[in-house]
Amino acid sequence: MREISYAEAVRETLRQQMLADDKIFLIGEDVGLYGGAFGVSIGLFAEFGENKIMDTPISEQGIVGVAIGTALLGMRPVVEMMFSDFTMLPLEQIANQAGKMRYMFGGKAKVPMVIRTPGGGGIGMAAQHSQSIEGLFLGLPGIKIVIPSTPYDVKGLLSTSIKDDNPVLFFEHKLLYPIKGQVPEEPYEIPLGVADIKREGKDLTVIATSFMVQKTLKVAEKLSAEGISIEVVDPRTIKPLDMDLIAASVKKTGKTVLVEEACYTGGFTCFLASEIYKNCFDSLDAPIERVTGLDCPIPYEHNLENAVIPDEAKIEQAVKTVLGIIK
């Protein structure tokens, strides 16, 4: 099978879906001639024109407002929010309008829209452009949250998200864009709420999200040389969450480490740890360990930024701590 990058997989999905359905369009800042802040939409404007690839003024509230309105009228907008940090600007519209309208109108109104947005740090974009805030949206009813870690997953999950009749927040880590992987050329879909075992193992389960999946796989490969067998689970969507697969993996190994880039306090893994204790308490042979970002803004300076974001050494240390190899 051919290999393409994560960014190419997103672009290909948008193109294929727009060719298949005239109701789908892309809207956001610099998505047209410029090709998007990270080059994801390069070439789409030339092919589809300004009626399908819509450049907007710098107004996140305006962009999301247009998306909600057109979705209510039967269109399927795909918003590109330049940085995930900026989703806090239209938060009222996302939480109180997009997320609640289907419920408030008894199912007669639908809001089939996707907000694609790059998150995470690691490229020196400082405190206001580097956050991992997907966990902030967990408590908002009516919104689905997708966070793919591979080129294969991003194509299948984006295809499904575009066809969903509910608003979907779709987080794409900046450092994943250049990563390549095997991706079928034809369209395909991956159901939301279905996790994936990225690596089979028997000694301990690591549940990781987004770019942390890539780091965890490197740790698992390294530890295999030491005779340690790590199972790596990627939830892929954190709402809905595939607790059945996660619980089955944790019950199999009896030990688990949870890894995310977001801050320690209030992140997705806080909720996940609670659910694991609820579903797997009798099967756990050791306390759960969490590896997260620090509770501070992301620094601009390279070395400080790296110190705040989880790395392979911290993941390895957590694994060996839970296994009792180190204290």
pLDDT at 327: 81
pLDDT at 284: 98
SS (H, E, C) 250-285: HHHHCCEEEEEEEECCCCHHHHHHHHHHHHHHHHCC
**CATH fold label, 196-322:** Rossmann fold (3.40.50)
pLDDT at 1: 83
pLDDT at 85: 97
pLDDT at 5: 98
Separation between Cα atoms, residue 242 and residue 261, nearest integer Å: 20
| Tens-place pLDDT, residues 47-65 | 999 999 999 999 999 999 9
Q: What are phi and psi of 261, to 5 degrees?
A: -85, -20
Asked if the domains 3-182 and 196-322 are classified in one and the same CATH topology, the answer is yes
Report the chain's terminal Cα–Cα distance, integer Å: 44
pLDDT at 29: 97
**129 has catalytic annotation:** yes
pLDDT at 301: 96
Task: Assign domain 3-182 to its CATH architecture.
Answer: 3-Layer(aba) Sandwich (3.40)
Residue spans per domain, the chain: 3-182, 196-322
Catalytic residue among 11, 52, 102, 129: 129
Q: What DSSP string runs through 288-311?
A: -EEEEE-SSPPPSSHHHHHHHS--
Q: What DSSP string runs through 84-148?
A: GGGGGTTHHIIIIIITTHHHHTTTSS----EEEEEE--SSS--TTS----GGGGTTSTT-EEE--
Selection from 236, 72, 62, 28 nearest residue 166 by Cα: 72
Average pLDDT, consecutive stretches of 10 residues, N- to C-terminus, the chain (327 residues): 96 98 98 96 97 96 98 98 97 97 96 98 96 96 98 98 98 98 98 98 98 98 98 98 98 98 96 98 97 97 97 98 93
pLDDT at 126: 96
